[in-house]
Structure 1
C-alpha cells in the first residue's frame, strides 16, 4: 500500500505546508496570549466586563470552522486567507486563555492586593509587579495545553483554502488517488510535532507545580 519512493517525492511539499500550520499556530497563539490577558483584566471592569464575558461565551460555544468561514466571507479580497485564519484562531483561543488568566488572577491571595493598596502602589505597578507575575506562573501549564490545541485545529482552515498541510494533502491525494497514504503521512507529521511538545509541557507542569 505504501510506496516509499512516492512518499519521499511528496514529503518536501507536505513539510513546506506543515510550516504554514506552525506559522498559524505561532502567530495565532501570540494573539491569543496577548488578547486573552487583556480580556481577563478588562473583565474586572463592572458592566463592560459582563458584555465582554457574553462575547467570549459566544466565541467559545460556536465552532471554529464556522467562525473562520463567516469572517472570511466578510473580509475584503485583498486580505489573504492565511491572515484571516491567524486572526480567527487567535481570537477564538483568546476566549479560552482569558478564562485561564482569570483563574490565575483570582488565585492571587487577597492579602497581596491589600498589601499593594497599603503601599499606595499605582494600578499599573500593582498589576505588573504583584498580581500578574504570580497569576501567570500558576497557569503556564494550562496555557501550554492550548498551544497544542491551537496547532491541532489549524487543519480546520482548509475550509477557507489556506495552503496548510491538510489542504495540500487533499490536493496530492486527489491527483494521485492515494488518499489513505497521504493522510497517514499527515497524521505522522502532526504526531512528530505534538508528542515532543506534550512531553515538554508535562515537564513545565511538574516544574511549576513544585514552585
Structure 2
C-alpha cells in the first residue's frame, strides 16, 4: 500500500487529540504514582507489624499481576460492586497504583540512604515525627530519587496503549479507530510509532539531564 500524505493530513487532528489524552493520562498517572508510592513506602516503615505486612503484601500482589488485568478489574469488575468510573479516571488510577508500587521501592531506597545521624540530629533538636520527615529526611532523600522516578514515568508513558482496552481515546485507540474506519493501517500505525518515538526521545534527553543534575541511584 502506498503512503498517502493527503490521508495523513486528514487523520492528523484525530491522532493529535489522542496524543493529548496520552500525555494527560501519563501526567496524572505520574502524580498518582508519586503519592501512592510515597504512602506505601511510609506505611511499610510502620512500627505496627500488621500495617507494614498488609501494605507490603498488597504492593507485592499489585506488582505481581499484569497492568492489563488490573485495568480490566477497575473498569469492568468494579461497576458490579457499584463503583462506576469514567474510562480516563479508571486508566489513571490503574497506571498510578500499578507504578506506585514500583516508585515505593525508589522511595524506600532513598530514605534508607539518608545517614542515620540525620535521624539522631532531628531527635536531638526535639523535632516530632512530622517535622523530622518534612524538614530533614524527605528533603535529603527525594533529590537522588528523581532520575529513577522519571525513568518509571517514561515507562508509564509507553504503557498507555493498554488504556485502549477500557475505551480511553488515547493515541493507540484513535489510530485503531481511524484504521478500522478507512481500512488503511500503514499511515495511522506508523504515525503512532513516530509520536511515541519522538516523545520518548525527548523524555530520554530530560532523563539524562536529571541524572547529571541529581545523580543516579540504584533501583
Task: State how far apart, in whole Å, the 1-side matches of 2:31 and 2:171 are.
Answer: 21
Aligned to 1:34: 35
Separation in 2 of the partners of 1:111 and 1:206? Answer: 27
Number of residue-to-residue matches in the alignment: 210
**Are 1:56 and 2:62 counterparts?**
no
- List per-residue Cα deviations over 1:18-48 (Å, max 9, x = no partner): 1011111111110100111111111101311
Partner of 1:8: 9
1:70 alignment counterpart: 73
Separation in 1, partners of 2:178, 2:105:
40
1:166 aligns with 2:167: no
Partner of 1:207: 213
Q: 2:97 is matched with which residue: 71, 91, 94?
A: 91
Runs of 5+ unmatched residues, structure 1:
none
Provide the TM-score with structure 2 as the length reference.
0.92
Provide the C-alpha distance between the structure 2 equivalents of 1:164 and 1:81, rounded to a whole number of angstroms: 11
Could you tell me how far apart the structure 1 residues matched to 2:115 and 2:74 are?
A: 40
Cα distance, 1:79 vs. partner?
A: 2.4
Would you identify which runs of 4 or more consecutive aligned residues in structure 1 move more than 2 Å?
74-79
- 1:155 aligns with 161
RMSD of equivalent CA atoms: 1.3
Give distance in 2, aligned partners of 1:67 and 1:79: 14
- Quick check: 2:3–2:186 contact (8 Å CA) kept in 1? no
Structure 2 CA distance for aligned equivalents of residues 50 and 135 of structure 1: 23
Q: Counterparts in 2 of 1:119-158, with a 5 A limit?
A: 119-158=125-164
Q: Aligned partners of 1:179 and 1:65: how far apart in 2?
A: 24
- Aligned partners of 2:87 and 2:166 also within 8 Å: yes
Cα deviations across residues 25-74 of structure 1 (Å, max 9, x unaligned)?
A: 11111010011111111110131111111111111111101100011112
- Structure 2: which 5+ residue stretches go unaligned? none
Deviations 1:86-114 (A, max 9, x none): 11111111101111001000010011111
SS in 2 for 1:190: helix
